[in-house]
Amino acid sequence: MTVTRSNVALWVGLVAAVGVAALLGLGIGPVRLTPAEVWTALAGRGDVTAVAIMRDIRAPRVVLAALVGAALAMSGAALQGTMRNPLAEPYLLGVSGGAAVGAVIAVASRAPFGLVPVGAFGGAVVAVVLVLAIARAGAGRPDPRVLLMAGVVVGAFANAVIMVALASAPPDAVRNALWWMMGSVAGATWVQVGWLAAYAIASASALLLWAPEIDVLALGDDAAAGLGVDVDRAGRRAYILASLLAAATVAAAGLVGFVGLVVPHLVRSRAGRRHRAVIAAAGLAGAALLIAADLVARTLRAPSELPLGAVTALAGVPFFLVQLRRYR
């Protein structure tokens, strides 16, 4: 991503946004702490309670929210480019549905709660494989439009499976499953953060590495083939990487909608045409946005919380409307 005079402001602004969001996320909570107390507690000194609040509650939450937001936004940016469709996002392409099925089955079969993320991830992988298989069977090769339709179909099927599972599951399992599906980083732990960070950094790096291929794909299949790109392979690779990136977030924080759809549109007009820049910018914007959304989720209805997925969807709609006006 080349830094030119015109987009220097964009990158500085995005990094600053993440920093400000993180500072607010660390500084605000039901227990009032002064900035000095926040700092000493983060460093592990001072009041035991303050240290535990900062190190075991707020900090893992902020970091997890940042990772989830970044991963979802990057995934969406890559998919929109690959599919040449402004509506493409991980959740539309069956990932969320598959993950939710996996999680609900894990919950309903009374697996230990720690296995729910594993179930979610497994479900997402199955959904991705299914989408690819359907697209291949339908069109012979993964045409972006067919891939999109296959994703929607798999998503609808997953919804049906979820409804059947929930209707026949014991009510306590239903409660856990519903809570999980509404999305939340409330239970964030460093172990979770570690897993997601390792996973997200690997997939995001791969996505950035192959971003130039997405630039070519975005020109259209014929043009891309004319430029010597193996269209099928490049498209499939981008789809799989983006989907797995989203799947990991679902495993860590449940279903947090709209980030993957809206954030790429917010940065696309400013980050230029190169997908390496668009994906990276979307990642930063997604991180800042989700930290802020989580802050809203945990303060607006204190002492209770709002589901994070509800906050992102509510905030996402006006953002999207503003963006639509810009497209006119």
Partner 1 sequence: MHHRRSPFLFVALAALLGASAACDRPSAERASPRAQASSALGVSTIQDDFGDTLVLGPSPRRIVSLNPATTELFFVLGAGDRLVGRTHYDLYPSAALAVPDLGNGMQPNVEAVLGARPDLVVLYASNGNRDAAKRFRAAGVPTLTLRVDRIAEFRRTVLVLGRVLGDTTAAHAVVDSVDRTLARVRSATQGAVRPAAFWKAWDSPVIAIGGGSFLTELVEIAGGRNIYGDDPRPSLDVTIEDVVRRDPDVVLAGPESARRMRAAPAWRALRAVRDGRVLIVDTMLVGRPGVRLGEAAVSLARLLHPGAVP
Question: Residues 179 to 208: which contact partner 1 by CB under 8 A?
Answer: 179-180, 184, 186-190
Near partner 1 in 240-299, by CB under 8 A: 298
Q: Judged by CB under 8 A, which of 34, 44, 48, 327 binds partner 1?
A: 48
**Residue selected from 3, 8, 12, 31 as contacting partner 1 according to rule CB under 8 A:** 31
User: What does the H/E/C string look like for the chain?
Assistant: CCCCHHHHHHHHHHHHHHHHHHHHHHHCCCCCCCHHHHHHHHCCCCCHHHHHHHHHHHHHHHHHHHHHHHHHHHHHHHHHHHHCCCCCCCCCCCHHHHHHHHHHHHHHCCCCHHHHHHHHHHHHHHHHHHHHHHHHHHHCCCCHHHHHHHHHHHHHHHHHHHHHHHHHCCHHHHHHHHHHHCCCCCCCCHHHHHHHHHHHHHHHHHHHHCHHHHHHHCCCHHHHHHCCCCHHHHHHHHHHHHHHHHHHHHHHHCCCCCHHHHHHHHHHHHHCCCHHHHHHHHHHHHHHHHHHHHHHHHHCCCCCCCCHHHHHHHHHHHHHHHHHHHHC
Among the listed residues 139, 178, 240, 296, the single contact to partner 1 using CB under 8 A:
178
26 binds partner 1 (CB under 8 A): no
Binding of residue 225 to partner 1 (CB under 8 A): no
Q: Which of 19, 35, 140, 170 binds partner 1 (CB under 8 A)?
A: 170
Burial of 111 (0-12, 13-18, 19+ CB in 10 A): middle
Closer of 3 and 52 to partner 1 (Cβ): 52
A 10 A CB-CB count for 34 gives: 9
**Shortest distance, position 60 Cβ to partner 1, whole Å:** 8
34 binds partner 1 (CB under 8 A): no
Counting residues that bind partner 1 (by CB under 8 A) gives: 34
- By CB under 8 A, which span of 44-52, 64-72, 118-126, 127-135 interacts with partner 1? 44-52
Site membership for partner 1, residue 113 (CB under 8 A):
yes
From residue 234, alpha-carbon distances to 78, 207, 237, 307 in Å are 12, 11, 5, 36
| Residue choice 80, 82, 176, 243 for contact with partner 1 (CB under 8 A) | 176
Residue 109 within binding range of partner 1, rule CB under 8 A: no
Using CA atoms, how far apart are residues 58 and 51, in angstroms rounded to an integer? Answer: 10
Shortest distance (Å) from residue 164 CB to partner 1: 16
Q: Give the nearest distance from C-beta 236 to partner 1 in angstroms.
A: 36
Q: Is 110 in the site for partner 1 (CB under 8 A)?
A: yes
Does 304 bind partner 1 (CB under 8 A)? Our answer is yes
Q: How far is the CB of 47 from partner 1 (least distance, A)?
A: 10
Q: Find the shortest distance in angstroms from Cβ 186 to partner 1.
A: 7
Annotate each residue in 50-69 with x if it binds partner 1 (CB under 8 A) or - if it does not, as one string. Answer: --xx--xxx-x---------
Does 167 participate in binding partner 1 (rule CB under 8 A)? no
Candidates 24-32, 141-149, 231-239, 256-264; binding stretch for partner 1 (CB under 8 A): 24-32
**Interface with partner 1, residue 29, by CB under 8 A:** yes
By CB under 8 A, name the one of 6, 303, 325, 328 that touches partner 1.
Answer: 303
The answer to whether residues 246 and 75 touch, using CB atoms and an 8 Å cutoff, is yes
Bond before 171 cis per omega within 30 degrees: no
User: Which residue ranges make up the site for partner 1 (CB under 8 A)?
Assistant: 29-31, 48-49, 52-53, 56-58, 60, 110, 113, 170-176, 178-180, 184, 186-190, 298, 302-305
